[in-house]
Every structure is written in C-alpha cells, then in structure tokens.
A = this chain, B = another copy of it.
Amino acid sequence: MGQRKSGHVTLLDIARASGFSISTVSIVLSEAPLSQNVAAFTRTHIRTIARQLGYHPDAYARSLRRRTTQTIGIVAFDLSDPFCIPIVRGIQAKLQPSGYFPLLMDVQTQRALFDDYLHMLLERRADGVIVIASWVFEEMNLLGDVRKNNVPILIIGRDLSARGTSSILVDNQEGGALAMRHLCELGHRRIAVIRGPQELCDSEPRWKGIRDVAVQCGMQLDERLVFQLLGVAGPASGFEGGLQYVRAMLARRQPFTAVLAFDDLTALGVVRGLREAGLRVPEDCSVMGFDDIFPAEVATPAMTTIRQPLREMGMEAAERLLDAIRGKAEKPRLHRTRPELIVRMSTAAPPVPAGNARNGRRR
C-alpha cells in the first residue's frame, strides 16, 4: 500500500488518496476548530482513508509546529527499587486525564545516565520533569541546563527546596515517631534501632522522631543497640546491613525485644538474621520496617511498617508540576506528606517474662 520512503504514512499520502489537499486532511484529522466547516462527506471520507492506511500523525512534526509536546519526563534514580513504582503510578494517574504523556527513564543508579537522560528530556522538549530520588543524589547540575531552558522541575524523595526546586518528601520525623510509639505501646523497652545511612536526607529526621518519642515514653535508648547503615550501594544493601547487625547483636548476646529498622528491606534482613538464630518473629522479637513496599506485604510474617503515601506523593507531584507548566507558578517549596502506621504480623508484645530476647527459643 502507499508506503512512502519513510515507511510511515503521512498527510500527503492521504491527500493524494482522497483527492483533497493536505490542509483539509490536516484540519479533519486533527479535529481543528475549522473542521466544523468541512463538509460532512469530506470528513468521513478522509477519516476512512486515514484508518485504512493506518495513519498516525507524526508527533515530531506536530510538536515542532505546535510548540508543545504534551510530554512530561519522569526520571527514576533506580526503578528496581520497589519504592518507585507506586509513585510512578500516582503520577500517571494524574497525568492521564490531562492529556499529558509520561516519558519514564530509569537511571539505574548511574550518575552518567542521569545526565544523559536529562539531556534527552530537554532535547525532547519535555514540558516538565519529575525526578524520583529513591536514595542518594549528590550535587546535581540540574539547575544549570534545565533552568536555562526554563522547564519546570520537581523532585520526590529529597529536599531541594532550599536550592529553589520544589520537593515532596514524607514527614520522616513523624514517621519515626509513629513507629517508635507503636513499639512502646506494645510494651517494648529494649529496642534496637538501625538508622539510615548518613548520605540520606531521610535518616536524620526519622531518628529524631524516634528519640523524641523515646524520651516521651521515659525510655532510654541503649546506644549499644543503635546502629547505622553505611553507604548506599543499592536497594539491597539495606537487607545485608540488617542481617549483619542482627548477627552481631546476637553474637554479643545483647538483649532486645524489638528492632526498628530504617526501611522495609533492612527489616527483611533483620527477620532473616533472627530466624537464622532460631528466633521467632514476632513472638521472640518484633520487627518494624518503613516505606511499605511490596515485598514487605508478601513476606511472612507480613511486615508491620510505616507507610509512605507513595501513590499520593506521585499524584501531588504531577498536580504541582502541571500547575507550574500552566503558569500558576508557586514559590518552590517543600511539601511534607503524612506517613501512616500499618500494623501487620511482625510486631507483638514482648515475650514474658520480659527482657531478654534470647530466652524464647524455638523447639
């Protein structure tokens, strides 16, 4: 059939086939306002031919002319992090009805790729960009080129509002507090805490929330039971960290009845370590995570955790970005979302007689 050299069917093909001019065909197929003036017969005629030939307007030519791409870029720093997906879903949900299309890029934790993709988005003239910084993100020259081309940008998972970029972040302090309060209320007193790595902006406030509640409850955190993940080598590094710290604690025979882990993956590592030693969760020791990612839900015991409203964060991000694109420019600011306690099966009252985690032994 009338394939042109490009292999793609164009307006010209349809014009020829229908006997009308390119203009008329364009007006009909793009449903321009003028298409009301086009004779009904012409309209249907052109439409049928277009369908027969499998015509799709060339987005490149169209955007070039229209000077808008109806496209927004989503740059995920590590798409393999289960954390990302619900956010992406949230963004998509908001974007869909507004006719914008998401362009999703997976940076795979590679610094260089981040730049590549960002450039690519600029070259594709994305109308806006959302960055999902699941974990680490050092100096970014986002500012430079994205600013110069005045493309609205917004970041999730890191606070860059001070540098003039709108940011969305869970209220980590509140989350930490929520978690700690849950354990306290269950009656735990000897609680081990695995803090997040220094490089992560979430670590500090979460820890503050934990400490605040500890003092509220008149409890003192044993510093020998406080650990800190080091480095962020990937989403799985938390798992390894949790596993190692638990092994260490058990080897040193330090008594504890609960572990409050930095995130779900770390918590899963903790569970592994406890079970290795023959301890039961939650009967002998409670474990809490943070984030509420998918693996936490399908693990056994199902993980008690602090849920980040990931989907909502994505929706919020999309909404704010669309506002910015439409010119309702707000001051760049930090939006904190509210975390939620999700009680599942990995937490329970401490074993009685209370105190030592190692006295409830299996079998």
- Verify B148–A1 contact, CB threshold 8 A: yes
- Verify B300–A150 contact, CB threshold 8 A: no
A233 is an interface residue with CB less than 8 A from chain B: no
Given contacts A59-B125, A299-B300, 9 further A-B pairs with CB under 8 A are: A1-B148, A7-B149, A54-B149, A60-B63, A64-B64, A79-B88, A89-B108, A265-B298, A268-B300
Closest CB of chain B to A17's CB: distance in Å? 14
9 contacts between A and B (CB under 8 A): A58-B125, A60-B124, A61-B64, A62-B123, A64-B64, A88-B106, A104-B104, A272-B298, A362-B363
CB < 8 Å neighbour of A56 from B59, B104, B145, B265: B145
Question: How many angstroms from the CA of A86 to the CA of B106 in the assembled complex?
Answer: 12
Bitwise, A250-263 to B at CB < 8 A (1) or not (0) is 00000000000000
- Verify A60–B64 contact, CB threshold 8 A: yes
Residue of A86, A275, A298 ringed by the most chain B CB atoms within 10 A: A298
- Verify A85–B79 contact, CB threshold 8 A: yes
- Verify B85–A89 contact, CB threshold 8 A: no
Question: How many angstroms from the CA of A6 to the CA of B125 in the assembled complex?
Answer: 10
On chain A, the number of residues with a Cβ less than 8 Å from chain B's Cβ atoms is 64
Contacts of A1 in B (CB 8 A): 148
Question: How many angstroms from the CA of A62 to the CA of B123 in the assembled complex?
Answer: 9
> Which residues of A come within 8 Å of B, CB atoms?
1, 3, 6-9, 53-54, 56-64, 67, 69, 79-80, 82, 85-86, 88-89, 92, 101-106, 108, 119-120, 122-125, 144-145, 147-151, 236, 239, 265, 268-269, 271-272, 275, 294-295, 298-302, 362-363
User: Quick one: given A106-B92, A300-B275, are A294 and B82 in contact (CB under 8 Å)?
Assistant: yes
Copies of this chain, how many? 2
CB < 8 Å neighbour of A6 from B67, B145, B302: B67
Closest CB of chain B to A290's CB: distance in Å? 15
In the A-B complex, the 7 residue pairs with the closest CB atoms: A54-B148, A295-B295, A59-B123, A104-B104, A60-B60, A56-B122, A268-B298
- Verify B150–A3 contact, CB threshold 8 A: yes
Contacts of A268 in B (CB 8 A): 298-300
- Verify A56–B103 contact, CB threshold 8 A: no
Closest CB of chain B to A103's CB: distance in Å? 6
Contacts of A67 in B (CB 8 A): 6
Question: How many angstroms from the CA of A64 to the CA of B88 in the assembled complex?
Answer: 30
